[in-house]
Amino acid sequence: MALQLNFNAIRSMRSVWKNKVVRQHCMKRLDLLECSRTAGSRTTSRSSSSLLYDYGTTIDMMMTGTGRCYSPCSLPLSTSSASSSTVSSNNTLDHNDLSVRYLDGEHSGIVVFALNRPAAKNSFSKNLVKLLSEAVSTVTFDKNARVVIVRSDVAGIFSAGADLKERAKMKQSEVAPFVSSARQLITDLGEMPMPVIAAIDGTALGGGLELAFSCDIRLAASTAKMGLVETKLAIIPGGGGTQRLSRLINPAIAKELMFTARVFDGCEAARLGIVNRAVEQNDGGDAAYQAALQLAQEILPQGPIAVKMVKKAVNKGIQVDLASGMAFEEAYYSQVIPTKDRIEGLTAFREKRTPKYTGE
């Protein structure tokens, strides 16, 4: 959402740009954008004149370096011309592999991505990656979506990772583009503006666990089995596992888990800090999902723009030194100042009533 330009925002932007680390980071990312644009990918650079018209979007481009443009009403483009080979030649998709549910009633504002490939243990096929990519692209721009939950409709399974049967049939030239598209999907899921919660009620291995790593919060059943087991197949995690796990926990412990391809349960994952917490599995086999719903309901009443800005500030800040992180915080704080929600929060506090936030 484009926010109204104001002088505080301009001053904040200037302050951020004066920070040498942030400036170098932004310029490097903009150089990459230009290279991607000339290479014909979906990434596109933004002109500096956009600073005067869309402060919110420009700060996001400067801070994240994405500059990607999606249409909420259209399907996303492939991540690159090479990755188009990951889509079946007849361009048909089996939509039964993924269910996207917009909950209503007391759960209104929650969107659920439910994996459903029981015969393949929710492994990532070309079809499932394409469906998830489309869902992420669409929901990213849905103003009414406040929280996303990623879960499985298959009992005892979250995701077994890559579809090795399909992978075995791929030509060698197809493997790298497919892995690249899956990696981009996992990255895009993590970059959704609203909180994303992984509800792990069953086995999450390899790419399935990497998908959960990209989520903001992970809740797991105590009996759920997890692990990055790629070294058993003489490969390494290819969806960000080597990077995200070593940032979640002690890098030495992360190495041990990947060197040994160790499988651990939800309780051990909680002890290590891989998941936020483990819950005892219920008779319905969806204890983590129920816990995710409860957590999402705690998030829903909060100011949606503020929640999004917190996510951006944390995600960007942990990648830089403290001084640069404070500059990021200042920039994102300035984006909530001109919002109607901020005024509503102050008014509701003064009137001793519950605020009604609209995301504006």
207 is catalytic: yes
Side chain identity at residue 360, one-letter code: E
Annotation marks residue 298 as catalytic = no
Q: How many CB atoms lie within 10 A of CB 285?
A: 16
> β-pairing, 264-265 with 225-227?
antiparallel
User: What is the C-alpha to C-alpha distance for residues 292 and 279, in angstroms, rounded to an integer?
Assistant: 11
Query: Cβ of 64: how many Cβ atoms within 10 Å?
Result: 16
Q: 225 vs 213, 222, 321, 358, CA distance in Å? A: 15, 9, 35, 39
| Alpha-carbon gap, residue 55 to 39, rounded angstroms | 27
Question: Which tokens go with 203?
Answer: 């086995």
Question: Which of 120, 160, 162, 224 does the annotation list as catalytic?
Answer: 162
Dist. CA 241–CA 238, nearest whole Å: 7
DSSP 290-314: HHHHHHHHHHTTS-HHHHHHHHHHH
Among 191, 230, 268, 329, the active-site one is 230
Active site residue 230: yes
Task: State how far the Cα of 318 lies from the Cα of 18, in Å rounded to an integer.
Answer: 19
**Residue of 161, 207, 241, 266 with catalytic role:** 207
Annotation says 325 is catalytic: no
- Set 9, 65, 134, 210: catalytic member: 210
Sign of the CA dihedral 28, 247, 287, 114?
positive
Point out the residues that are catalytic: 162, 207, 210, 230
